[in-house]
Amino acid sequence: MAKISLDTVASLNHFYPAVAAVVTVHGRERPNALACAWHSALSFRPPLYGVLISEKRFSHHLIVEAGAFAANFLPFEKAEKIAGVGRNSGRDLDKFQAFDLSVEPLPDALAPILQDAYAAYECRLVDRHPCGDHDLFVGEIVRIHLDEAAFDADSALAVERIHPALYLGADLYTTTVEAAPRRLRGK
């Protein structure tokens, strides 16, 4: 393997693919959504989920103000919507209208839950940590929204039925192959 200087690397796309998420938030004027590839479960007890968002992003201050967000997971068939909310700013347009993002009718939801999502985590903001040019927003999951048909009996995504949107970096998306997953256990 070649050793590459960090000064010459244009991006950190080497660890992808990653499941793309659409992070949603109730804004004071209107809701907003943004694509996010940097996100992760952080804890089972309490159930914590983290998203990394640059302070330059419109959603950043909306999450701080709202004290909540949701991480929505859409299938590959909706990747154009994910790319659209990722490449446009909520400062300039209503992304829900521009990209036809339909929201579940949940009046008590802390953040918009997208109808196209096969899973969504509704999170109450509990912490925020600066991490270089991004902030890690830590949310406690207060509700999980699932399309139960998208998951098998072990709660694993049934990739033969639902193809997750996988982000490769540089505006590239792909999905899983149609082969059934293999359960592998170390020796």
Per-residue confidence (pLDDT) for residue 15, from 0 to 100: 83
Domains of the chain are: 16-174 (2.30.110.10)
- Which residue shows structure tokens 């940097």? 38
Q: How far apart are CA 31 and CA 9, in angstroms?
A: 35
Q: How far apart are CA 178 and CA 180, in angstroms?
A: 6
Average pLDDT of the chain is 93
pLDDT at position 187 over 70? no
* Confidence at 93, pLDDT banded by 50, 70, 90: very high
Count CA within 13 A, CB hemisphere, residue 36: 29
Distance of CA 49 to the CA centre of its chain: 10
* Confidence at 179, pLDDT banded by 50, 70, 90: low
Q: List the beta strands (DSSP E) in the chain.
A: 18-19, 21-25, 32-36, 39-43, 48-53, 68-73, 119-131, 134-146, 166-169, 172-174
**What value does the mean pLDDT take over residues 40-44?**
98
Q: How far apart are CA 65 and CA 26, in angstroms?
A: 9
Per-residue confidence (pLDDT) for residue 46, from 0 to 100: 98
**What value does the mean pLDDT take over residues 133-142?**
98
pLDDT at position 153 over 70? yes
How distant, in Å, are the alpha carbons of 3, 88, 142, 174 from that of 49? Answer: 34, 24, 10, 24
